[in-house]
Amino acid sequence: MSKPLIVITGASSGIGAATAQVFAAAGHPLLLLARRLEPMLELQLPNALCCAVDIRDAEAMNRALEAAGAQYGPVDCLVNNAGVMLNAPFIEGDPQQWSEMIDINLKGALNGMRIVARDMANRQSGSIINIGSIAGRKTFDNHAVYCGTKFALHAITETVRQELAGSKVRLITIAPGMVETELVNHTTHEASREGWRSYAGQIGGALSAQSIAQAILWSYQMPQSVCVREMVICPTGQEP
Protein backbone atom coordinates (compact mmCIF):
# COMPACT_ATOMS: atom_id res chain seq x y z
CA MET A 1 0.00 0.00 0.00
CA SER A 2 1.19 3.52 -0.77
CA LYS A 3 -0.19 4.84 2.52
CA PRO A 4 0.30 3.38 6.00
CA LEU A 5 -2.06 1.40 8.20
CA ILE A 6 -4.60 3.12 10.45
CA VAL A 7 -6.26 1.25 13.35
CA ILE A 8 -9.60 2.49 14.67
CA THR A 9 -11.41 1.09 17.70
CA GLY A 10 -15.14 1.45 18.23
CA ALA A 11 -15.49 1.55 14.44
CA SER A 12 -19.01 0.13 14.24
CA SER A 13 -20.81 3.46 14.67
CA GLY A 14 -20.56 7.14 15.45
CA ILE A 15 -17.14 8.80 15.50
CA GLY A 16 -15.35 5.52 14.83
CA ALA A 17 -17.32 4.73 11.67
CA ALA A 18 -17.04 8.31 10.42
CA THR A 19 -13.28 8.25 11.05
CA ALA A 20 -12.96 5.01 9.12
CA GLN A 21 -14.73 6.63 6.17
CA VAL A 22 -12.52 9.73 6.04
CA PHE A 23 -9.28 7.73 6.35
CA ALA A 24 -10.47 5.32 3.67
CA ALA A 25 -11.25 8.29 1.41
CA ALA A 26 -7.70 9.51 2.04
CA GLY A 27 -6.39 6.19 0.71
CA HIS A 28 -5.32 4.42 3.90
CA PRO A 29 -5.67 0.71 4.62
CA LEU A 30 -7.60 0.14 7.81
CA LEU A 31 -7.98 -2.24 10.71
CA LEU A 32 -11.43 -1.68 12.18
CA LEU A 33 -12.17 -3.06 15.64
CA ALA A 34 -15.47 -3.22 17.52
CA ARG A 35 -17.59 -5.76 19.33
CA ARG A 36 -20.15 -5.71 16.48
CA LEU A 37 -18.82 -6.99 13.18
CA GLU A 38 -21.78 -6.47 10.84
CA PRO A 39 -21.95 -2.64 11.01
CA MET A 40 -18.26 -2.43 10.11
CA LEU A 41 -18.73 -4.74 7.13
CA GLU A 42 -21.70 -2.65 6.01
CA LEU A 43 -19.38 0.36 5.59
CA GLN A 44 -17.92 -1.52 2.59
CA LEU A 45 -14.61 0.32 2.76
CA PRO A 46 -11.70 -0.68 0.52
CA ASN A 47 -8.61 -2.28 2.07
CA ALA A 48 -10.32 -2.59 5.44
CA LEU A 49 -9.84 -5.57 7.72
CA CYS A 50 -12.80 -5.76 10.13
CA CYS A 51 -12.46 -7.75 13.35
CA ALA A 52 -14.99 -8.34 16.12
CA VAL A 53 -12.79 -7.57 19.12
CA ASP A 54 -13.55 -6.39 22.63
CA ILE A 55 -10.74 -3.95 23.45
CA ARG A 56 -10.73 -5.22 27.02
CA ASP A 57 -9.16 -8.40 25.60
CA ALA A 58 -5.53 -7.40 24.99
CA GLU A 59 -4.62 -10.76 23.45
CA ALA A 60 -7.44 -10.52 20.90
CA MET A 61 -6.37 -6.98 20.04
CA ASN A 62 -2.79 -8.09 19.58
CA ARG A 63 -3.80 -10.92 17.24
CA ALA A 64 -5.86 -8.54 15.12
CA LEU A 65 -3.02 -6.03 14.89
CA GLU A 66 -0.56 -8.75 13.93
CA ALA A 67 -2.89 -9.93 11.15
CA ALA A 68 -3.34 -6.39 9.83
CA GLY A 69 0.39 -5.71 10.05
CA ALA A 70 1.15 -8.83 8.02
CA GLN A 71 -1.21 -7.60 5.32
CA TYR A 72 -0.68 -3.83 5.33
CA GLY A 73 2.55 -3.12 7.20
CA PRO A 74 3.19 -1.46 10.56
CA VAL A 75 0.60 0.65 12.34
CA ASP A 76 1.19 4.32 11.68
CA CYS A 77 -1.80 5.58 13.66
CA LEU A 78 -4.02 4.14 16.37
CA VAL A 79 -7.31 5.96 16.95
CA ASN A 80 -8.54 4.91 20.39
CA ASN A 81 -12.21 5.75 20.00
CA ALA A 82 -14.17 2.93 21.68
CA GLY A 83 -16.02 4.05 24.78
CA VAL A 84 -19.22 3.95 26.79
CA MET A 85 -21.06 6.62 28.78
CA LEU A 86 -23.34 5.27 31.50
CA ASN A 87 -24.43 8.30 33.47
CA ALA A 88 -26.52 8.64 36.61
CA PRO A 89 -26.39 10.59 39.87
CA PHE A 90 -23.53 9.11 41.88
CA ILE A 91 -25.69 7.87 44.75
CA GLU A 92 -27.84 5.98 42.23
CA GLY A 93 -24.86 4.61 40.33
CA ASP A 94 -24.40 0.95 39.44
CA PRO A 95 -20.90 -0.34 40.35
CA GLN A 96 -21.08 -2.78 37.45
CA GLN A 97 -21.55 0.14 35.06
CA TRP A 98 -18.66 1.98 36.74
CA SER A 99 -16.44 -1.03 36.08
CA GLU A 100 -17.55 -1.19 32.45
CA MET A 101 -16.65 2.45 31.87
CA ILE A 102 -13.27 2.08 33.57
CA ASP A 103 -12.47 -1.12 31.68
CA ILE A 104 -13.50 0.13 28.22
CA ASN A 105 -12.77 3.86 28.34
CA LEU A 106 -9.47 3.55 30.16
CA LYS A 107 -8.04 0.03 30.26
CA GLY A 108 -9.12 -0.68 26.69
CA ALA A 109 -7.31 2.41 25.45
CA LEU A 110 -4.22 1.39 27.43
CA ASN A 111 -4.27 -2.04 25.80
CA GLY A 112 -4.02 -0.55 22.33
CA MET A 113 -1.41 2.02 23.33
CA ARG A 114 0.78 -0.65 24.88
CA ILE A 115 0.64 -2.83 21.77
CA VAL A 116 1.71 -0.12 19.29
CA ALA A 117 3.89 2.27 21.31
CA ARG A 118 7.12 0.26 21.46
CA ASP A 119 7.20 -0.42 17.71
CA MET A 120 6.40 3.21 16.94
CA ALA A 121 9.23 4.34 19.23
CA ASN A 122 11.65 1.92 17.57
CA ARG A 123 10.64 3.21 14.13
CA GLN A 124 10.84 6.83 15.32
CA SER A 125 7.40 7.52 13.85
CA GLY A 126 3.70 7.06 14.53
CA SER A 127 0.67 8.66 16.09
CA ILE A 128 -1.69 7.63 18.87
CA ILE A 129 -4.93 9.61 18.85
CA ASN A 130 -7.05 9.16 21.95
CA ILE A 131 -10.66 10.31 21.84
CA GLY A 132 -11.17 12.01 25.15
CA SER A 133 -14.00 14.39 25.99
CA ILE A 134 -14.75 17.83 27.29
CA ALA A 135 -15.68 15.70 30.33
CA GLY A 136 -11.95 15.10 30.68
CA ARG A 137 -11.38 18.81 31.22
CA LYS A 138 -14.36 19.81 33.38
CA THR A 139 -16.99 18.03 35.43
CA PHE A 140 -20.69 17.56 34.77
CA ASP A 141 -23.52 16.48 37.04
CA ASN A 142 -24.36 12.77 36.76
CA HIS A 143 -21.04 12.08 34.99
CA ALA A 144 -18.77 11.38 37.98
CA VAL A 145 -17.22 8.10 36.86
CA TYR A 146 -17.35 8.92 33.15
CA CYS A 147 -15.51 12.18 33.88
CA GLY A 148 -13.02 10.20 35.94
CA THR A 149 -12.19 7.92 33.03
CA LYS A 150 -11.76 10.83 30.64
CA PHE A 151 -9.69 12.93 33.05
CA ALA A 152 -7.45 9.88 33.48
CA LEU A 153 -7.20 9.31 29.73
CA HIS A 154 -6.19 12.94 29.18
CA ALA A 155 -3.52 12.67 31.89
CA ILE A 156 -2.16 9.37 30.59
CA THR A 157 -2.03 10.67 27.03
CA GLU A 158 -0.07 13.75 28.05
CA THR A 159 2.34 11.75 30.21
CA VAL A 160 3.05 9.20 27.46
CA ARG A 161 3.47 12.07 25.00
CA GLN A 162 6.22 13.47 27.20
CA GLU A 163 7.89 10.07 27.44
CA LEU A 164 7.80 9.43 23.67
CA ALA A 165 8.49 12.95 22.40
CA GLY A 166 12.17 12.10 21.97
CA SER A 167 11.17 9.10 19.83
CA LYS A 168 9.19 11.36 17.46
CA VAL A 169 5.90 9.61 18.31
CA ARG A 170 2.86 11.87 18.57
CA LEU A 171 0.19 11.55 21.27
CA ILE A 172 -2.96 13.51 20.43
CA THR A 173 -6.12 14.01 22.45
CA ILE A 174 -9.32 14.94 20.62
CA ALA A 175 -11.88 16.13 23.16
CA PRO A 176 -15.40 16.44 21.75
CA GLY A 177 -18.28 18.15 23.46
CA MET A 178 -21.81 17.15 22.52
CA VAL A 179 -21.82 14.83 19.49
CA GLU A 180 -24.84 13.03 18.04
CA THR A 181 -23.85 9.35 18.32
CA GLU A 182 -25.08 6.17 19.97
CA LEU A 183 -23.04 7.06 23.06
CA VAL A 184 -25.85 8.95 24.75
CA ASN A 185 -28.17 5.97 24.25
CA HIS A 186 -25.89 3.80 26.39
CA THR A 187 -27.10 5.68 29.45
CA THR A 188 -29.78 3.74 31.30
CA HIS A 189 -30.69 6.70 33.56
CA GLU A 190 -33.60 8.20 31.62
CA ALA A 191 -33.45 11.67 33.18
CA SER A 192 -29.77 12.05 32.24
CA ARG A 193 -30.43 10.88 28.71
CA GLU A 194 -33.43 13.15 28.21
CA GLY A 195 -31.60 16.10 29.78
CA TRP A 196 -28.79 15.68 27.23
CA ARG A 197 -31.25 15.59 24.34
CA SER A 198 -33.21 18.57 25.65
CA TYR A 199 -30.09 20.72 25.96
CA ALA A 200 -28.87 19.66 22.51
CA GLY A 201 -32.17 20.86 21.10
CA GLN A 202 -31.88 24.19 22.90
CA ILE A 203 -28.49 24.94 21.35
CA GLY A 204 -29.46 23.92 17.83
CA GLY A 205 -28.17 20.38 17.91
CA ALA A 206 -25.05 18.44 18.76
CA LEU A 207 -22.08 18.07 16.42
CA SER A 208 -22.02 15.38 13.76
CA ALA A 209 -19.59 12.49 14.03
CA GLN A 210 -18.24 13.55 10.64
CA SER A 211 -17.06 16.87 12.08
CA ILE A 212 -14.98 15.07 14.69
CA ALA A 213 -13.65 12.63 12.10
CA GLN A 214 -12.41 15.51 9.96
CA ALA A 215 -10.59 16.96 12.97
CA ILE A 216 -8.96 13.59 13.65
CA LEU A 217 -7.80 13.29 10.06
CA TRP A 218 -6.48 16.88 10.06
CA SER A 219 -4.45 16.34 13.22
CA TYR A 220 -2.97 13.17 11.73
CA GLN A 221 -2.16 14.77 8.37
CA MET A 222 -0.07 17.51 9.93
CA PRO A 223 3.68 16.88 9.41
CA GLN A 224 5.12 14.33 11.83
CA SER A 225 7.15 17.17 13.33
CA VAL A 226 3.87 18.86 14.39
CA CYS A 227 1.92 17.43 17.33
CA VAL A 228 -1.58 18.74 17.97
CA ARG A 229 -1.43 17.87 21.64
CA GLU A 230 -5.08 18.49 22.43
CA MET A 231 -8.10 19.75 20.52
CA VAL A 232 -11.44 20.56 22.19
CA ILE A 233 -14.36 20.66 19.76
CA CYS A 234 -17.90 21.66 20.80
CA PRO A 235 -21.03 23.08 19.22
CA THR A 236 -20.73 26.86 19.17
CA GLY A 237 -23.83 27.16 21.34
CA GLN A 238 -22.66 24.72 24.02
CA GLU A 239 -22.04 26.77 27.16
CA PRO A 240 -20.36 24.35 29.62
Please list the active-site residues: 146
Edge-first strand listing for the sheet containing 230-233 = 48-52, 30-34, 5-9, 75-80, 127-131, 170-176, 230-233
Q: How far apart are CA 231 and CA 25, in angstroms?
A: 23
Q: CA nearest 190: which of 240, 142, 121, 129?
A: 142
HEC per residue, 94-151? CHHHHHHHHHHHHHHHHHHHHHHHHHHHHHCCCEEEEECCHHHCCCCCCCHHHHHHHH
Q: How far is CA 59 from CA 68, 116, 123, in A?
A: 14, 13, 23
Radius of gyration of the chain measured on its C-alpha atoms: 17
Q: Containing H/E element for 159?
A: helix 144-164
Helix (H, G, I), strand (E, B) or coil at 225: coil
Q: What is the DSSP string of 35-97?
A: S-SHHHHHT--TTEEEEE--TT-HHHHHHHHHHHHHHH-SEEEEEE---------GGG--HHH
